[in-house]
């Protein structure tokens, strides 16, 4: 066979192989669609300032806790479409926070911000409660969200919802529970300076948002990405073990709810408090009132008193409210208006016997707030904030 004929034969073989692969892939993708298979997709993209952020107009299933199709608005947040300038007579409240605020586990209209908006509108008239929550955001990322995005919407009030574990531990690299590089404040010469790492390594800068959106519509690609994330998460767990300056116990996540025993956790607490104060000061520089809300932890609001007592006894602590109380004392020293959510939610859970955390595919009273939890917390925010709104 002549060289030219050989090349043509190889080319034909490659085309046949490519055609077979294309047909097989299309058939497999079609079968996945017919099976109505739900696979978690990605809602994120790189951000040069915050490491990562929600991708404008993204949509994907969230299946880890509950089953919800989550959509992101044009501005990159899980909220209704909002115009930057509010309509005359509208009072705007902006809520910043992490996954507890965005509420991926429930439908958009069931999130605490939407519950609070409906309740406040019924009491006081034209009120909008904007949701600026982003999963895994630490306090520094929330500060940057406020600085870079929130003020463009001309809020009349800013509320920071502080998680008792993630927000505190994500304030330093030594104690972080966040799996990706992210900005945080470091103390230097008695002052806080922002450490700005490179954007999240697990998001490829060469993949444009439209390509990421396409992946969310291809079940085969989502299956591959799910497997890839699982392997990456396992590798990251091991990497973090060698990255921290001080070994941390396996239960240090829960221990952050109680008096610190490790210098690294005490450092995280101090930087967290100072970061919240910086956030308050940023609002003051724009003449916008600032409130802080301390969120709950599932064990605090277990409707079974025996469950609460077992958790308290496990850590040999006088009560379950150390973290809340510490943040409240800090807020009082700094003259920051505040709301402590856990005791109110705990009382509701005891009276009704309902779990405010947990879903059909999770253990009992586990993880994020469920629909009932968002409803109770949203109503609490509306009740406490009603007096701040002009009548």
Closest CA to 119 of 388, 391, 389, 381: 381
* 96, burial (CB in 10 Å: exposed 0-12, middle 13-18, buried 19+): buried
Give Cβ neighbours of residue 48 (< 8 Å, ≥ 6 apart). Answer: 199
Average pLDDT estimate for 18-33 = 53
Question: In terms of CATH, what superfamily is 44-388?
Answer: SGNH hydrolase (3.40.50.1110)
- What mean pLDDT, rounded, does the chain reach? 82
How far is residue 192's CA from residue 96's CA, in Å, rounded to a whole number?
A: 21
Name the least confident of 104-113, 134-143, 311-320, 344-353.
Answer: 311-320
Positive or negative: CA dihedral 256, 258, 263, 267: positive
213 phi and psi angles, rounded to 5 deg: -65, -40
User: 154 to each of 42, 96, 307, 336, 387, how far by Cα in Å?
Assistant: 30, 14, 44, 20, 20
**Which pLDDT belongs to residue 117?**
97
The pLDDT score that the predictor gives to residue 169 is 85
Q: Which tokens hold the place of 56?
A: 């404008």
Out of 4-18, 60-74, 172-186, pick the least confident.
4-18
Which parts of the chain are beta strand (E)? 44-47, 51-54, 59-62, 68-71, 91-97, 127-133, 157-162, 184-188, 191-195, 290-294, 338-340
Whole-structure pTM value: 0.82
**More reliable by pLDDT, 179 or 246:** 179
Which tokens go with 146? 């406020």
Q: Can you give the residue ranges of every domain in the chain?
A: 1-37, 44-388
Residue 174's SS3 state is coil
What would the pLDDT profile of 250-303 be if each residue is shown by its tens digit?
576 787 888 888 888 899 999 999 999 999 999 999 999 999 999 999 999 999
**195 φ/ψ angles, rounded to the nearest 5 degrees:** -95, 125
Confidence bin at 244 (pLDDT 50/70/90): very low
**Helices 209-216 and 219-243 meet at what angle, rounded to 10?**
110
d(CA 110, CA 116): 10
- Specify whether the CB–CB gap between 146 and 96 falls below 8 A: yes
β pairing state of 59-62 and 68-71: antiparallel
């Amino acid at each position: 066979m002549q060289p030219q004929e050989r090349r043509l034969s190889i080319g034909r073989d490659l085309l046949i192989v490519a055609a077979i692969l294309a047909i097989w892939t299309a058939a497999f993708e079609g079968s996945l669609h017919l099976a109505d298979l739900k696979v978690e997709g990605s809602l994120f993209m790189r951000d040069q300032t915050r490491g990562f952020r929600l991708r404008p107009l993204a949509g994907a299933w969230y299946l880890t806790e509950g089953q919800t199709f989550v959509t992101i608005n044009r501005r990159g947040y899980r909220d209704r479409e909002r115009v930057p300038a509010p309509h005359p007579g509208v009072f705007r409240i902006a809520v910043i926070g992490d996954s507890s605020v965005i509420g991926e586990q429930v439908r958009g209209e069931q999130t605490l911000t939407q519950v609070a908006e409906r309740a406040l509108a019924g009491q006081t008239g034209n009120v909008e409660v904007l949701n600026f929550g982003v999963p895994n955001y630490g306090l520094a990322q929330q500060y940057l969200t406020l600085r870079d995005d929130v003020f463009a919407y001309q809020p009349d009030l800013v509320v920071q919802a502080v998680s008792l574990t993630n927000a505190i531990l994500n304030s330093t690299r030594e104690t972080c529970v966040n799996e990706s590089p992210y900005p945080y404040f470091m103390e230097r010469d008695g002052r806080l300076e922002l450490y700005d790492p490179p954007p999240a390594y697990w998001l490829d800068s060469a993949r444009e948002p439209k390509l990421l959106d396409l992946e969310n519509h291809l079940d085969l690609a989502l299956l591959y990405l799910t497997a890839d994330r699982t392997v990456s998460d396992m590798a990251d767990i091991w990497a973090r073990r060698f990255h921290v300056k001080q070994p941390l116990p396996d239960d240090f996540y829960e221990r952050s709810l109680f008096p610190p025993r490790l210098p690294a956790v005490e450092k995280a607490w101090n930087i967290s408090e100072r970061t919240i104060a910086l956030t308050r000061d940023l609002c003051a520089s724009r003449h916008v009132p600032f409130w802080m809300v301390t969120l709950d932890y599932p064990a605090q609001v277990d409707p079974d008193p025996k469950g609460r007592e077992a958790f308290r006894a496990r850590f040999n602590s006088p009560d379950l409210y150390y973290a809340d109380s510490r943040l409240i004392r800090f807020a009082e020293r700094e003259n920051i208006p505040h709301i402590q959510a856990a005791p109110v939610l705990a009382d509701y859970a005891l009276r009704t016997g309902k779990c405010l955390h947990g879903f059909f595919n999770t253990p009992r009273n586990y993880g994020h707030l469920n629909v009932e939890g968002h409803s109770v917390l949203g109503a609490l925010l509306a009740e406490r904030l009603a007096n701040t709104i002009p009548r």
